[in-house]
Structure 1
Amino acid sequence: QQYMVCTRVMAHLAVPVLLLSFSLLCCSSPSRTRKAISPIQAGAEDDDVKSQIEKLWQEVHLLKEKQALQTGKTPNIYMMENGDLRNYARRSAPGSSEFWIGVSDIVKEGQYVDVNSLPVSYFNWDRSKKQPTGTKRESCVALSVAAQGKWQDEVCRSLKKYICEFVIP
């Protein structure tokens, strides 16, 4: 088994999605004649395009998050020796303090499953911080290097590195 910190899991998908989105924004309403546009109209259109691009960028991040949770095989990551995993994370990404491990209770609050929707039977919660907090807002599990590899439930949209497991034959 080989483990790695995945920092660019969806980079290949993000660029085509952004290019396609931008081309749709630019070419979605073709006209046969050119009209003179006042600077005020141009500014409003620029703001509208920027707003649409921002929304698309947020959607790309959501897609990246969803696919990253499904890409790596992670059912054994949280079951392996937690200290080894913490040490690996510390060596692989110095300066990063928390890593997603592919465990969440998004479907049903309090019922943690891995990326394959299999129930999780091993837990390593950071009890000093009263984890898990039990709120619906915090549904994804992160390993905290600072807390000696203990787990914390976090907001799933938080930007963190992933720890992925790959089986190399």
Structure 2
Amino acid sequence: MEARVACLLIGVLLIQGSQQQSAIKKKPPIKKDVKGNSAIEDIQKQIKNIVAELNVLKQHQALQAVCLRGEKTRGKCLLTDSEKKNYYTASEDCIAKGGTLSTPRSSGENLHLAAYVNESVGPSAHVWLGFNDMQAEGTWVDLTGSAARFHNWDASPLSPQPDGGTSENCAVLSATPAGTWLDENCGVKRASVCEFKIV
């Protein structure tokens, strides 16, 4: 990696030197140096490749930091944010960190998420999930617009969920052992869990 960075610096210096020389001369070149142009293009290509590799390394490093502070599960890392925010702010904050609000896709993922929320936020916590029915009442979708393939709505006889109609368009997970879901007004402030896909 150090050798590549050294090559990068040499290439940048060569490019700057050639640009400064051409600026000083101010005479149009009579004949193009095909070999020189080819070398510059190769160096520019190498610079682009190095920058791309550095960006990937930065993403991996950031993801490792998240996984160390949060919970690692199959194919993703989870990180709670106990600060209570409305659904929109919580979702934007997760996206800004490189993730999304958590969207359990199976009973196992849901139970794992509920246990993690119980442990990290508390047993009476309710956290935002990445599901809503804002576009069409009763059609629950994730943040990409894909239909929710799994759900775990609370089916208690006193208040079966979802029950809020058009006033409650966002889903929350209860930290109970069963990890049941409730529909909630999106403006209410709740804790949240961001999920980050592990590539």
TM-score, normalised relative to structure 1: 0.60
From 129, 143, 168, the counterpart of 2:173: 143
Compute the displacement of 1:165 (Å). 0.6
Provide the rounded CA distance (Å) in 2 between the counterparts of 1:160 and 1:9: 4
Residue equivalent to 1:106: 134
Compute the displacement of 1:167 (Å). 2.4
Compute the displacement of 1:78 (Å). 4.2
Q: Which amino acid aligns with 1:131?
A: Q
Residue equivalent to 2:194: 164
**Residues 155/69 of structure 1: CA separation in 2 closer, same or farther (3 Å cut):** farther
Identity %: 28
The answer to whether the 8 A contact 1:131-1:151 is kept is: yes
- Structure-to-structure mapping, 1:30-45, within 5 angstroms: none
Residue equivalent to 2:185: 155
- Structure-to-structure mapping, 1:39-78, within 5 angstroms: 64-65=89-90, 67-68=92-93, 70-71=95-96, 72-74=99-101, 76-78=103-105
Provide the rounded CA distance (Å) in 1 between the counterparts of 2:179 and 2:131: 14
Residue equivalent to 1:30: none
Provide the rounded CA distance (Å) in 1 between the counterparts of 2:154 and 2:88: 29
Q: Greater shift after overlay, 121-130 or 80-89?
A: 80-89
Residue equivalent to 1:20: none
More relative contact order, 1 or 2 (CA 8 Å, 6+ apart): 1
- In structure 2, stretches of 5+ residues that fail to align are 1-75
Classify the secondary structure of the residue corresponding to 2:100: coil
TM-score, normalised relative to structure 2: 0.51
Indicate whether 1:121 and 2:149 are aligned: yes
Aligned-residue CA RMSD (Å): 2.8
The answer to whether the 8 A contact 1:104-1:114 is kept is: yes
**Residues 145/75 of structure 1: CA separation in 2 closer, same or farther (3 Å cut):** closer
The answer to whether the 8 A contact 1:75-1:116 is kept is: no
Larger Rg: 2
The answer to whether the 8 A contact 1:9-1:68 is kept is: no
Compute the displacement of 1:96 (Å). 4.8
Residue equivalent to 2:160: 130
Indicate whether 1:84 and 2:112 are aligned: yes
Compute the displacement of 1:65 (Å). 4.5
Size of the alignment, in residue pairs?
119
